[in-house]
Structures are given as structure tokens and as C-alpha cells.
Structure 1
């Protein structure tokens, strides 16, 4: 699917999300340090546990809104809320108000993504969906790579100006959504949903029906296991590299050399991961475009766990680069397929809710993942990385089981 043939909705959103995501990552990585300085490490650690919890609820609510009032309306609510929160953050003179604004920004962001993913699914065919999702994933990761680099200067030296700029960017994107983007929730679905009474109990009832869907529940379970392994990039892997990868020459020329070790080595590894994601997401998606969803999800889980497991056997930075390339390949194969699978599997009138519920796998995985750090007190690196690899193998087995169930569901249709 070529760029010129894309719907205007997708073009506007791709550009807008690239800009807003870059500004998001110009401040987000520094919030833990900011709140640690403001409240102390112990209090900050507790405070930073709240946003993911609220984010889970917001994702579910965002999916419910996307199916009831529409994708466009939900995105506008998110963008207007986030611009307001950025303005409060900019003009606040209290760390506590800053924290509340930070929570508000997180809630607004969580509201946005189910509607955004559902809109992509509304506007693309099944064969084009992987490429489009991969393009949006590439744009997001350009922000992940560029944002922290810019933020390390602007957040430290020009925090007020940066937050004001974030406010303006969110408002401009909201205006673009309002004037340039049309609603994609089918009119008949909107009319049907409008007759339903809006209530929290109705929302929970809708999600209880979704989670009784055995195939979807199995998909969430497998995704949680993958998320546990994926989160180790920032958790146990960073600890392992800091403790075991000692200072060594990365490149050298004659008498000159560049040495890395510990924290600097971890930075180089994460930089490689981000660079590979930006450069190879679209090529890898095209290479594996004709693979089935089952094979793609199974192979990606195995590659990710295997790449991480190999790290336990080396402290050489170049071999670690190779391990990072293997696990990043698994990440690149998985991401567009996982998004495409949900949009294909979910019914049209509940697509936003399925997208919102799908996000739970990452939120739950983020909560469980830190247990690997605790396990490292009693286990060697081989033991910890071995457990991580085992988790991804179990995930692969669950995906195999999942795709054996889908034909049975199709042969005997039933409401989830």
C-alpha cells in the first residue's frame, strides 16, 4: 500500500503522531529523576506506580468510548485533555500539581491509542494492515530515539518553554483532527450504540463479554508473557550489563580507541535497538508479509527469548550487539502482526474495546516484569535469562494453541 493511496485520515495522523510522540519523549524519560529530586526516591517510586494502574483503566474506557461516541470524538477528548494538562504542568509552581498533571497526561494518552488503532483498522484492508501499522510503529520509534536526545537539553535548561511547546503542539494536532479527519465508526454502529445507556456498569458488562472470549483471553495471556520478556530491556538486562559488562574497547584506530562498559554499554545497546527499529520495521514487515499470523507470532516470541538468553553467555560488547539484533528482529516481526491480528479478529462494532483490552497485556506485563530483578539475587544470569527464555517459549506454545482454536470458532459461530 503506497503512501499516495493512503486515506487522508491516516496521512494527517501519521504526521501528527510523529510530532506529538517526539515531544512526549522529550520530557517523559526524565520524570522519574524529576520526581525523585522533588519527593525523594522512596516516595517517587510509590507515586510512579499509580500512572500505569490508571492507564489500564483509561485504555479500557478509551476503547469503550471509541465504539460508543466514535474514534474522532475520543481522540479529540484525549488531545484537549493532554494540552490542558501540559499547560497546568508548565505554569505550576508545585511538584504535587506537576504530578497530578503528569497523571492527567498519561490518562489522556491511554484514551487516545485504542481509538487510533481502531481507526487504522477501519480504513485499511486485511492485506495492507500490517504495512500501515508498521509505518505508524516506525514513526513512533523515531520519537523514541530522537525525543530523549533533544529532551536531555531542553527539559533540563528550558523546561517551561518545552512544556508550553507541548501544549501548542497538542492543540494544533487537535485542530487538525477536528478539521481534517472524518469519523470512521460505521454510522449504523454509532446509531445502535447511541441507543444504549451510557454507564460504568455497561462498560464493565461489555468487557466481561470480551474476556469470556476464550481465543482473545488466550491471546492476552500469551501477550503478557511476551511483555514480561520485552520489559527486561529496561530492567534485568540493564542490571546485567551494568554489573558484568566491564570497560572494553568498542572501536579503535592506531593509538585512539573508544571504550564502553556498564551504563555506557547499556546506552549503546539501547541505541542500536532504537536504530534497528527505525530503519528495519518496514523492510522486515514486507519480508514477512506473506507469513501467517501464527508463524509470525510464534517465531517472534522464540527469537526474542533466544536473543536475550544468549546474553547470559557473553560480556563482549560486539557479541551483545549480535544478541540485540536477534531479539530486535523478533520485536519487528511481532508488532505489526499483533496489531493486525486484533483488528482482524475483533467484531466491527467492538473494535475499539478489543484494542483497549489488548493493551492490558503490556500493563500487566509491566507489573510482573520487575520480579526478574528480585530473582537475580538468588539466581545466576544464566538462570534469570533462562527463565525469561522459558517464558517466551510458553508464549509461543500458547500462540500455537490459540490458532488451533480459531478454525473451531469459525465453524461454530457464537457470540464471545
Structure 2
């Protein structure tokens, strides 16, 4: 715990925000452009059903895309460490642009499934590289928090604008929608190719030898880090909990007699709170130990969503949205910044790739498990969400270390933890 007054610590966070290097703002600009045009994941189901395909066919496309996203993070983490952050991002953007532009001209369902599955892969390759750029660009914990705060803010603003623009384009032409998505991806790649340069690397013989060793071991070495594995498990569980805001919450809203418009208002409240308050909240919690911040945030998310099942009116449901959104804002930026503090220098891409795999696994499995459990009984889902929130909070806490060997051999005194 910092001994400085809160306002001093928050000022330090603001100073870190203002002092971020240009590479962070380049990434922020690129992410904003990319998210504004990220229409395909949102509108692909509507596009397929409008073309006459069944809900089952649309679900198959989404499922294959989800598997592709998991694979894309693994590939992206490897490439970010192997060929560099800049060219990994450019490769992801250009290939995604080309594949997305082809979607409205595809005919048979198997071809659509294959191409959208490939888009799932290519559209995620850039993510570990982008996170690695942010980790490379900063040197202090406050700067790391500020950098990921900018990243999150750009993503949220882009998603909000993209939803509005995508709705307009979908009402006009799906061809324009997907071509617009492709153009945004291509512009993202152009921004990165022209403005971003990878951080300079040491070229000493020892560094070259170490790098070759890292490449040979790869993900196996990363997964030997028990702290990382615990963090990844926490991420899977936490994302399963959070994704119920798009699965259990709309089902509950319908069951209690509210309209889809009411659900839209609740999600809109979540988005507004995140845009207005996430950066200030990140600054406020930046002076505390990240493990405890993550634990409290995951607890708030679990409790807020679990309480959904007890609420029937918009006022009370809005109160639960406030609780779980506070948990979301507390954990989102801290989570990736904390991972950055755990990462060995030449393993940044792989660590971030594993984080992406855990994230997409939680968000991909969440709807399947959540929907199945809700079919058994709504109470079962909300009980599971509450228990999973507690588990995520527990996994966030620091792992207890074993006592030193000398203390275990006949010594009665123990070092306090």
C-alpha cells in the first residue's frame, strides 16, 4: 500500500498517461480504426439468416470462428516473438481485410464456414503483438497501466461507434458492411506499417543465444510458470462469468417480461459507464497490489451478475449492471498490465498469446455452458455464476509460497508470509 495520499498517486497515473511514448498512441489510433470497422463478428448471424440459412448453420459458423480465434492467438504470440510486433500486426490486418472482403460474394455454406473460420484465426493474430508493443514501450508499472488504459479506451470507443455505423450499413447493404470492415482492417495495417517501428533489440551474442533457446522451448517454457498458469485459469473462469451478461442476462430479461429494448438499455448503461469511468477507476486502483485489485473486481463481477436472477424490474437490474460493470472496469486494464509485469523480455508475445487463448476460451465456452445450464434452471446458472466469481477471485490472490527448506528441517520458527 502506498503511503502517499490518494490524490498524489492518481496524479502520478495522470502523469504516466500524459508521458506515454508515441508508439502507444499509434497503437491506440490503429485499434480505434480497426474496432470502428469490426462489423463481421456482430452482424454475421443476421447476414446468414437473411440469406436463408438456419440458426443451426449460423451457430456452426460462430463455433468454427471461435475455434479459429483460439488458434489465432497462439499463432500471433509465436509470430510476435519470431518476426516482430510490427509485421505480425500488418500480416493480421492485410489477410483479414482480404478474407472479409470476400465474404459477401461466397455461395455454398461450407465455403462460408471455411473463410469465416480463417478470419477467426487472422483477426486475432495481431492481438498478442499489440499487447507486446505496449509492454515493450513502457518501463514502470504506472506507465504499463496507462498504456493498457489507452488501449482499452480506444477499443471501447471504436466498438461503440462501430455498432452505430454497422447498423446503418447493414440496413443499406451487407456488401458495403463487409467491404467497410475490410477497409478498416487494411487502414489499420497501413497505420502500423507506416508509423510503428519495433523496439530496438540487443544484438549481443548472449542475447542471440538466449533468443534461440526461447524459440526452441516456446509455449512449453511459458506454461512452466506456475504464476502464469494460475493467471490463465483465473482468466478463463472470469471471462465465463462476464460473458453471461450477453447470455444469462438477456434470457432473464425476457423471462421477467421485459423487452429487447430494455436489454439494450442495460447494455447501453454498461457501455456508458465504461467509457466515462474506466480510466479514472484505473488511476484510483493503480496504487494497490494488482492481485488484490483483480480479486475484488472478479468478486464484484460475479456477485453483480449472480444477483441478476433475483431482480425483476429495470431499476434493480440497473443496480446489478452497475455492480458488475464496476468489477469489469476494475479488472480489465489491471489484468493485462499485471500480465506484462510477469513476462520475461523475450517471451512477451507468447505470454500475451496464452492470455488471448484463455480469454477466447472463456468467452467461447461461456455461451455454450451458460445456455445449457439455464435450460436446466435459471437458478442453476446464477448459482454457478456466483461460485465461479468466487473461484476467479480466489485464483487472483497471490500463491502461497512453501516455507524455506532450512525452516522445514527441525526448525520451529516460520517466516511469516
**TM-score normalised per structure 1:** 0.86
Check conservation: 2:72, 2:121, Cα contact below 8 A: yes
Indicate the residue corresponding to 2:134 in structure 1.
Answer: 120
Please state how far the C-alpha of 1:211 moved relative to its aligned partner: 1.5
Check conservation: 1:243, 1:262, Cα contact below 8 A: no
CA distance in 1, matches of 2:291, 2:313: 34
Equivalent of 2:55 in 38, 41, 44: 41
CA distance in 2, matches of 1:197, 1:287: 37
CA distance in 2, matches of 1:90, 1:314: 42
Which shifted more, 273-282 or 305-314?
305-314
Q: 1:79 to 1:407 in 2, by over 3 A?
A: farther
CA distance in 2, matches of 1:28, 1:406: 46
Indicate the residue corresponding to 2:265 in structure 1.
Answer: 268
Structure 2 SS opposite 1:315 = coil
Indicate the residue corresponding to 2:239 in structure 1.
Answer: 227
Q: 1:322 to 1:3 in 2, by over 3 A?
A: same
Q: Structure 1 residue 239 and structure 2 residue 251: aligned? A: yes
Q: 1:397 to 1:173 in 2, by over 3 A?
A: closer
CA distance in 2, matches of 1:342, 1:40: 41
Equivalent of 1:137 in 149, 152, 176: 152
Q: Which runs of 5+ in 1 are unaligned?
A: 247-260, 409-416
Q: Structure 1 residue 377 and structure 2 residue 375: aligned? A: yes
Check conservation: 2:27, 2:151, Cα contact below 8 A: no
Q: 1:14 to 1:154 in 2, by over 3 A?
A: same
Check conservation: 2:298, 2:327, Cα contact below 8 A: yes
Q: How does 1:235-314 map to 2 (within 5 A)?
A: 235-244=247-256, 246=257, 261-314=258-311
Indicate the residue corresponding to 1:368 in structure 2.
Answer: 365
Indicate the residue corresponding to 1:15 in structure 2.
Answer: 29
Please state how far the C-alpha of 1:380 moved relative to its aligned partner: 4.3
Indicate the residue corresponding to 2:162 in structure 1.
Answer: 147
Query: Can you list the C-alpha shifts for 1:364-397, whole angstroms capped at 9, x where unaligned?
Result: 223432223222233343x421221111111211
Query: Can you list the C-alpha shifts for 1:297-337, whole angstroms capped at 9, x where unaligned?
Result: 11001111111122222211011111101100000010111
Q: Which runs of 5+ in 2 are unaligned?
A: 1-14, 405-417
Check conservation: 1:86, 1:105, Cα contact below 8 A: yes
Please state how far the C-alpha of 1:2 moved relative to its aligned partner: 5.5
Please state how far the C-alpha of 1:194 moved relative to its aligned partner: 7.4
Q: Structure 1 residue 388 and structure 2 residue 385: aligned? A: yes
Equivalent of 1:355 in 352, 355, 369: 352
Q: 1:45 to 1:93 in 2, by over 3 A?
A: closer
Q: Structure 1 residue 57 and structure 2 residue 71: aligned? A: yes
**TM-score normalised per structure 2:** 0.85
CA distance in 2, matches of 1:289, 1:377: 40
Check conservation: 1:27, 1:148, Cα contact below 8 A: no
Please state how far the C-alpha of 1:401 moved relative to its aligned partner: 4.6
Indicate the residue corresponding to 1:326 in structure 2.
Answer: 323
Equivalent residue pairs, number: 385
CA distance in 1, matches of 2:106, 2:261: 34
Check conservation: 2:28, 2:154, Cα contact below 8 A: yes
Q: 1:365 to 1:173 in 2, by over 3 A?
A: closer
Q: 1:315 to 1:3 in 2, by over 3 A?
A: same
Query: Can you list the C-alpha shifts for 1:175-201, whole angstroms capped at 9, x where unaligned?
Result: 222221111262449845875798xxx
Q: Structure 1 residue 156 and structure 2 residue 168: aligned? A: no
CA distance in 2, matches of 1:406, 1:357: 26
